[in-house]
Amino acid sequence: MASSDKQPNIIVIMADQLAPHFTGAYDHPLVKTPHLDALAARGMRFDAAYCNAPLCAPSRFSFMSGQWISHIAGYDNASEFKASIPTFAHALRHAGYRTCLSGKMHFVGPDQMHGFEERLTTDIYPSDHAWTPDWEASDERIDKWYHNMDSVREAGTAATTFQIEYDDETCFFARRRIMEYAMNKVDPFSMVISFIHPHDPYVARPEWWNLYDSNDIDMPNTDAPSDPHTERLRVGIEADVDIPTDQEIRNARQAYYANVSYFDSKIGEIVKALDESEQLDNTVIVVTSDHGDMLGERGLWYKMNFFEHSARVPMVFAGPGIQHGISAEPVSLLDLYPTFLELAKTADEYPEGFTANVDGTSMVPLLTGAGEGYNGRAVAEYCAECASHPMLMIREGDFKYIHCDVDPAQLFNVVTDPRELVNLAEDPDHQEVAKKFAAQAAEHWDSEKVRQDVIHTQHQRRAVHAAMEQGALTSWDYQPPRDASQEFVRNHMDWTVAAEKTRFPPFKR
């Protein structure tokens, strides 16, 4: 809880596909992240934070709603995020916050706001059902949008890309709105500022690429034992037939590191805007990501699995009332929903609709130093491409358990075996632990029922998308409103008043 009775501003700065392993804040010896380092130095760093689905849209749906994807049918990157599902933006708005989104959230469906009072940019990916997988033909690639190895082989530098243009715009509009909140005395406010970097393609501007020497780039570890899902992924991304050279791998990692530093520079711009607008001291800042990136580890790239580089995310809190330290408790993105509601400390109780179905647990005890007895737990689900059956991950204590009906169980001690090389599921000394997790998995969901629902929604969405492609285009893509007649100085305005109103700090007469 914040140190005063005043409601703190809450800002989430979100990366896309950022594994904590590849940041200076999480002790990578090469990657430069000075702004994230600074937040971690004055706040709380979570070392066992996980996404709840290792894929963009499902992860973000859980993050926004505080619910598992199986509870909201948010299975994949073409699943609709229904307007009736409460989000933390709705709840904070109810608590008196101005809520704002700048950047990516990968909402699918006609509702492109989900509780945000304003949205400053369009999204970067489609909002329709085009990217619907087919679990009844799960071994067939959908070439139009499936990942392949082009991002690795074509890694390098460029003057600009659509991702650079998008993130520059996302940061510019967010910084401007922060200043306007100060000018107009908007208090409290909550913003999600969500970037696409360091998501592939692995292409960086030269100034970020040149922060690193190719000879210094560490190579991935590829000597891990395989498993059925790893093999499915290798086929799905064509890593089984399109083998990158060592130099291509090194280039991809160098570009990724460069783009991590680029993202970090955006953190710096946002923090600077808060500081210059005299709002930093009453703002809780959270930096996180929707999932990680294997970046060649185990011969895998991108995400879509539950290994640490894919499923873990950075999570750093800093701001009023946040203790300084490092937490090893397992937590996840859906825990942010109840955390934000508690940080907002509204005098009125939230309506039941905001709290009844939340699957997360507030992290405020961990943030405030009152976390003794807190038993952290992270659960993640995967029901998307390169699979044919629901997959479940449970992280509790030192152990991670992975279940899928058609695959052998996996059990890892991720503290003593961080590379997840030794599967303990059949180890005689770990049978009690394995049985406990197996029981939890069976209690968590009816896997076959979930599978049938996934396939049912896939049928519906493919049919809807095929129909929507006929005739006139009806787009759900968000169109940011803009009225030039009200911007800067216009004839119906007194320019001296406009100048005074938009100056911060104001001139002291």
Of 21, 94, 106, 389, the active-site residue reads 106
**Rounded CA separation 74/109 (Å):** 11
336: tokens are 């942010």
Distance CA 273, CA 256 (A): 26
Residue 136 DSSP code? G
Q: Is the dihedral of CA 472, 474, 477, 482 positive or negative?
A: positive
Could you tell me which residues come within 8 angstroms of residue 77 by beta carbon, excluding any fewer than 6 positions away?
Answer: 55, 56, 57, 58, 106, 108, 125, 131, 384
Q: Is 95 helix (H, G, I), strand (E, B) or coil?
A: coil
How many other C-beta atoms lie within 10 A of the C-beta of residue 443? 7
Query: Can you list the pairs that 423-426 forms with residues at least 24 positions away whose Cβ atoms lie under 8 Å?
Result: 423/225, 423/227, 424/399, 425/401
Instruction: Give the whole-angstrom CA distance, residue 58 versus residue 103.
Output: 17
The residue to which tokens 């001296």 are assigned: 496
- 488's tokens: 């800067």
56, 100, 171, 386: which is the annotated catalytic residue?
Answer: 56
Mapping DSSP onto H, E and C, the string for 188-243 reads CEEEEEEEEEECCCCEECHHHHCCCCHHHCCCCCCCCCCCHHHHHHHHHCCCCCCC
Contact 311, 305 (CB under 8 A): yes
Q: Tell me, what amino acid is at 235?
A: V
Q: What is d(CA 46, CA 27) in angstroms, rounded to the nearest whole number?
A: 13
Run of H or E residues at 271: helix 246-276
324 among known catalytic residues: no
Give the list of residues 6+ apart from residue 124 with CB closer than 8 angstroms, or none: 104, 162, 163, 166, 196
For residue 314, which of 26, 24, 10, 11 has the smallest C-alpha distance? Answer: 26
3-state secondary structure of 428: helix
Q: Is residue 430 among the annotated active site residues?
A: no
Reference 39, options 274, 227, 208, 235; nearest CA is 274
**Among 54, 53, 13, residue whose Cα is nearest residue 35:** 13
CA separation (Å) from 492 to 216, 319, 381, 503? 59, 41, 55, 19
- The values of phi and psi at residue 326, to 5°, are -130, 130
For residue 190, the Cα-to-chain-centroid distance in whole angstroms is 17
Please identify every residue annotated as catalytic. Answer: 56, 106
